[in-house]
Amino acid sequence: MEIPEQDAAHMARAVELAGRGHGSTSPNPVVGCVVLDAAGAVAGEGFHAYAGGPHAEVVALARAGERARGGTAYVTLEPCDHTGRTGPCSVALLDAGVARVVIAVADPNPKAAGGAARLRAHGVAVTSGTLTGAAERVNEEWLTYARLGRSHVTWKFAATLDGRSAAADGTSQWITSPEARADVHRLRAAAGAIVAGVGTVLADDPSLTARPATPAIDPSLTARPTTPAIDPSLAARPAAPAIDPGVPGRTPLRVVIDTEARTPQDARVLDDRAPTLIAVADDAETALKADLLRLPRHANGLDLHALLRELAAREVVSVFVEGGPALAGSFVAQGLVDRVVAYLAPALLGSGRAALGAAGVETIAGIHRLTFDDIAPIGPDLRLIARPTQPGREK
């Protein structure tokens, strides 16, 4: 089905707006909305800025006011049809008198779905499936969480051009530049949890915290030209608030994968800078004073499927996996890596620890294929973002 040029342009703008909510809406999705008046001019825009705050449709409708009557709303995710911390967006659209609603992605959450059906039942024209791929990509963490019942996984590593994450003597600070490390903290701050293995805790005693605690909005999202042009009456005001100043910064949960409960009691991950969960085998004996999560054993470690389901039950939408090659290999082998973020330094070691350990591949036919999504310079380094060509392999 060919998408009308105007629909594509306005939905692209809604997707861009949705991206501004990254890192502050969990456990809710990121959503963007553009409202046109009856003549087809942009009357209001909005995005979901933080959990518990007004939804994208409500923000856009408030800015549009009476101009929304008889107009069109473009929404990246099906308007919700239930009452939670806010009222149903489907009802808000009906009350505003919108004549047409264009939706990119159907809501997979049965509790919230049904908005499209309600709108149609009340005579609103509904178009679904516009720029679905782009809208799914901007909301991939939450969609993984909602569709698969587990946290979305990003594996991050830093390495030399020859793939070494540490020298032969085990030293690794610092392979990449201060600019790359600052970018890592930005990504950490946007995650629901930061995950590392006990080997990393024993070797490096990391804090596993993010600086800053409140994720900054990616400037690339606000620097792009507006598409389509905004009505001049709206040009003087921002598209929507970045993060409500009254909302406290969310601190990512720290998770240590520690099968035999070897984490030292005085490890920095057990300080009071952030909450910490130590995942241990269900039969491990320990006197460790910490919040323990007991999980079944799997191969040479823990059942990571069970870990991600448990984290999802705690409303952790996304996890940021750091640490050593063994843990990374376990996530890859179990088909649980949804995105890879690699920082490559223009340097060579020739020996030392590889970035990825055993990942369940015995022959080239079993190789884990990825596709590049973004390649960007970060200071003197290169940041590569890639995704599996067969996402959700664990199904």
| Model pLDDT for residues 172-189, shown as the tens digit of each residue | 788 999 999 999 999 998
> For residues 377 and 386, what is the distance between their CA atoms, to the nearest angstrom?
15
DSSP single-letter state for residue 317: -
How many CB atoms are closer than 10 A to CB 368?
Answer: 17
**Residues designated catalytic:** 57
Cβ atoms 252, 189 nearer than 8 A:
yes
Question: In the CATH scheme, what architecture does the domain 5-143 have?
Answer: 3-Layer(aba) Sandwich (3.40)
Q: What is the largest CA-CA distance in the chain?
A: 70
pLDDT of residue 216: 43
Pick 210 or 276 by higher pLDDT: 276
User: Would you state the structure tokens that stand for residue 290, as one six-digit string?
Assistant: 């910490």
Residue type, position 4, single letter: P
**Ranges of H-type helices in 243-359:** 304-313, 325-333
Nearest CA to 205 among 270, 144, 281?
270
> For residues 294 and 303, what is the distance between their CA atoms, to the nearest angstrom?
10
> What digits encode the pLDDT tens for the residues 248-294?
456 899 999 999 999 999 999 999 999 999 999 999 999 999 999 99
Pick 322 or 310 by higher pLDDT: 310
pLDDT of residue 248: 41
In this predicted structure, which of 120-129, 164-173, 181-190 has the lowest mean pLDDT? 164-173
For residue 218, what are the CA distances in angstroms to 95, 117, 181, 190, 222? 34, 35, 15, 11, 7
Q: CA quadruple 353, 197, 159, 176: dihedral positive or negative?
A: negative
> What digits encode the pLDDT tens for the residues 58-68?
999 999 999 99
Q: What are phi and psi of 313, to 5 degrees?
A: -65, -25
Give the model's confidence band at 395: pLDDT under 50 very low, under 70 low, under 90 confident, else very high: very low
Domain range annotation of the chain: 5-143, 151-216+249-359+368-388
Cβ atoms 124, 151 nearer than 8 A:
no
Give the model's confidence band at 1: pLDDT under 50 very low, under 70 low, under 90 confident, else very high: low
Average pLDDT (65-89) is 91
Topology (CATH level 3) of domain 151-216+249-359+368-388: Dihydrofolate Reductase, subunit A (3.40.430)
pLDDT of residue 242: 33
In this predicted structure, which of 17-26, 71-80, 210-219 has the lowest mean pLDDT? 210-219
